[in-house]
Amino acid sequence: MIKKCLIANRGEIALRILLTCKKMNIQTVVAYSLCDKESLAVQLADESVCIGPAAATLSYMNIDHLCEAAYLTHCDAIHPGYGFLSESAEFAKKVESCGLIFIGPSSSVLHRINQKHLLKEIVQSLSIPIIAGDFNVINSVDEALESASTLGYPLMLKPTIGGGGRGIQIINDTTQLTMELKRLKSQGFNSLYLEQYVPENRHIEVQILADKHKNIIHLSSRNCSLQNNYQKFLEEAPFSSIDPMIHRKVLDYALAIAQHINFDNVGTVEFLVDRNDRVYFMEINPRIQVEHPTTEMITKVDIVEQQILSASNVPLSFKQEDVQVHGYAIECRINAQDDRNTFLPSSGIITKVNFPKIENVRIDTALFEGYSVPMHYDSLIAKVIAWGQTREKALLNIREAVNQTFIEGISTNLGFLRFFLNYEGFEKGNYTNGLFGSANVHWQSKLSEKSQNLTYESSSLCPQCQQSLSAKQLNDHQNVCEYCGFHFRRSASKRIVDLIDSQTFVEIDSHAKSVVFNAFLGYEEKLNIAMTSTGLNEAVICGFGKLLGHTVCIGVLDASFMMGSMGHVVGDKITRLIETATAMCCPLIIVSASGGARMQEGIISLMQMAKTAAALHRFDKAGGLYISLFTDPTTGGVTASFAMLADILISEPKALIGFAGKRVIEKTIKETLPAEFQTAEYLLDHGFLDMIIDRRNLKQTINDILSIHRRQPYE
């Protein structure tokens, strides 16, 4: 039995391992980096040892330092926690070669699992469905393009080694594939492969316990479908919104895979379930999971204890039939992120912290007042887990617990979690991975309207009629003056809320951000400022949803992000939106608000006109209905390309619509233009628009148009 353990991790998981070690009378040594020397785990451990500076590569991922630390402190085992080196076959082998116990699967098992593309071939040999893909490592761009052509878009570009969603990208076309391959390789992702993308999926994982005597059981399942950029933020156990027969099949698949590869410790077998309830194997995580407390609460099994016992060559003390699942558990991850600013990481000193003490609620954290949250590591700082006899009771408990949790001194995602726990799509329970995108749009709209602290007494002056308008008046009238009808500018997220039925919007390509590929001075800084000030990754939001029951694809440009200018990512997102509408056989709506081409990208920006126009030509040939809405302002290449190429052209009143500026045109043609030139009303009179519609009537008008034009293949 292990006598003394080096904990090669930090934060809440280091403390979690430490507490179980103490329960098992195992002495503990916490390995820490310089910036973690005041951590709670260091304070509570029997001993501690510094393993290097703050950078993870020089400390928590330094294999030699960790093994030396274990030797110097006379440990007989190392627990890697999660992240860092927890899945490293090289680390496990080094630990074993030093005569130490690696608390996790053996190095031979890890080596088998680490090559995800090869593991899928093994699983396929067991007649267990896998997601279609080319599991050979990509050696060149040409090879990737050929493979993608065979598989068909959309695709997932994934690293063969690693976890946590890092490096994963959704690929919709050849241009993006080429760009992402170069970008990921520049970031150190040298081993990549392609597989088909499964839209609207659910992520189900099965907790496995195994020993070194070929005993393997499961502890039921977890629902991990809720992710932001492939990072989970809320999990449930067990997976309840699935047919019991399919659930049974998933559990059997997990056991069969684990048995075939001789799995010998704690791990998780993960699957995707598509919209037709087809199950596909995804990967194995051969370590303790962040969300393991949900399983512990429904089974009363200490999973860290089972890790240690298995590593100590102790056989499992119970069988599958002994495992009893009771009730439901929900976990919320509290991250040091600014949920008002695209969930950017936050760091600083905790000035106040309060966690509730509620029956059936568990808190896993290493926070304390005065603790300095570093910027060098993952943003997870705490987990709130609630149990209930039913899912409804667990939901009530987690809401109460999160509402009573307060952390001051840094930004956290607590505000978003409180919002999400009351979001209708989550409350119903039968959600897919698209729910975050839908909820985030409503969250951003809620923030931009400042509805949490809406001061209805505050007022704005209408620039047209000079009437004073309260915040409530503007909110009630969709930012339109109720006296003269002046249309204030409106954010993209608010426009989606205006037009798309509640709880139906699914955002696509939300992760896409511009890559600075030239030396234009200050461009990267301008992008960062735009992302910080708007909460957007780029100047357009794209997705699909229902408009009074009609399924539509919709893209909305936002003039507050670098004047809605069309750079390569804006062009890519709009092009992929058009292609999505083509594939889905549904109408397309694009709401324009732009200053034209993004001059910082030079000729690349101008190329977006041809790209979007070509996609619209293909959409038109397929019989698609395209509605373009002009808002103030719509100018430059946006006007000249996709905005003017619609079947039906609608504008809001008095919107500025044009290509070049009026002054430039007058100097070029040496004539004075009419005062109303480039207004929506002028263009309507001269046959360039079909109609001008007040924003408050827009949704019903588009509904009428869709009803009139409803025809195959749109029915």
- Name 491's Cβ contacts closer than 8 Å, sequence gap at least 6: 444, 445, 448, 534, 558, 560
Query: Two tokens at 238?
Result: 């067990």
Contact between residue 709 and residue 625 where contact means Cβ atoms under 8 Å apart: yes
Q: Tell me how far apart the alpha carbons of residues 537 and 539 are, in angstroms, rounded to a whole number.
A: 7
Write down the residue that tokens 């207004």 correspond to.
Answer: 679
Residues with a catalytic annotation lie at 287
Query: Two tokens at 338?
Result: 């600014």
Q: Tell me how far apart the alpha carbons of residues 180 and 141 are, in angstroms, rounded to a whole number.
A: 10
Q: Strand, coil or helix: what is 234?
A: strand
Q: Which of 208, 203, 278 is CA-nearest to residue 233?
A: 203
DSSP 8-state code for residue 598: -
Q: Tell me how far apart the alpha carbons of residues 115 and 135 are, in angstroms, rounded to a whole number.
A: 10
Q: Which of 436, 111, 54, 137 is CA-nearest to residue 264?
A: 111
Contact between residue 408 and residue 456 where contact means Cβ atoms under 8 Å apart: no
Write down the residue that tokens 């397929």 correspond to.
Answer: 622
Neighbours of 213 (CB within 10 A): 12
Q: Tell me how far apart the alpha carbons of residues 84 and 51 are, in angstroms, rounded to a whole number.
A: 14
Q: Tell me how far apart the alpha carbons of residues 219 and 206 are, in angstroms, rounded to a whole number.
A: 7
DSSP 8-state code for residue 264: -
DSSP 8-state code for residue 78: E
- Name 600's Cβ contacts closer than 8 Å, sequence gap at least 6: 518, 520, 523, 526, 567
CA distances 679 to 407, 463, 488, 628, 644, Å, are 50, 17, 15, 16, 15
